[in-house]
């Protein structure tokens, strides 16, 4: 059986939807972290960042995901998450 480009694209579209759902859940956790921390100085934790990147890269490799994809992707995700957490904290503090 030969796979078509249409089938490949449909699978990618399905995976993209699953990824968006997971990223939305992750974002909610980031927002909860802002509530718990309630202090901008606690948002950036370099040790935690490196721990997350290492865990993701190692797990990714065990699943067949190349580290050249997982590591920069997660570093960017973490950077964007930190920016979001700062914005959330600003909103929380300005609403009080």
Domain 5-94 sits in CATH 1.20.59.10 = yes
pLDDT band at 23 (very low <50, low <70, confident <90, very high): very high
Least confident of 15-19, 38-42, 51-55, 62-66: 38-42
Write down the pLDDT at residue 95. Answer: 81
Which pLDDT tens digit goes with each residue over 69-96?
A: 999 999 999 999 999 999 999 998 888 6
Whether residue 34 contacts residue 85, with contact meaning beta carbons closer than 8 Å, is answered with yes
Whether residue 39 contacts residue 56, with contact meaning beta carbons closer than 8 Å, is answered with no
Largest pairwise CA distance in the chain: 62
Per-state percent for the chain, helix, strand, coil, to nearest 5: 85, 0, 15
Q: Is 64 helix (H, G, I), strand (E, B) or coil?
A: coil
In this structure, the number of other CB atoms found within 10 A of the CB of residue 67 comes to: 13
Q: What are the residue boundaries of the structural domains of the chain, listed by start?
A: 5-94
């Amino acid at each position: 059986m030969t796979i078509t480009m249409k089938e490949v694209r449909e699978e990618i579209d399905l995976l993209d939807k699953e990824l968006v759902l997971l990223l939305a859940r992750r974002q909610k956790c980031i927002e909860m972290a802002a509530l718990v921390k309630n202090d901008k100085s606690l948002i950036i934790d370099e040790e935690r960042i490196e721990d997350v990147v290492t865990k993701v890269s190692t797990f990714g490799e065990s699943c067949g995901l190349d580290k050249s994809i997982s590591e920069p992707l997660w570093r960017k995700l973490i950077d964007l998450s930190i920016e979001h957490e700062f914005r959330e904290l600003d909103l929380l503090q300005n609403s009080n």
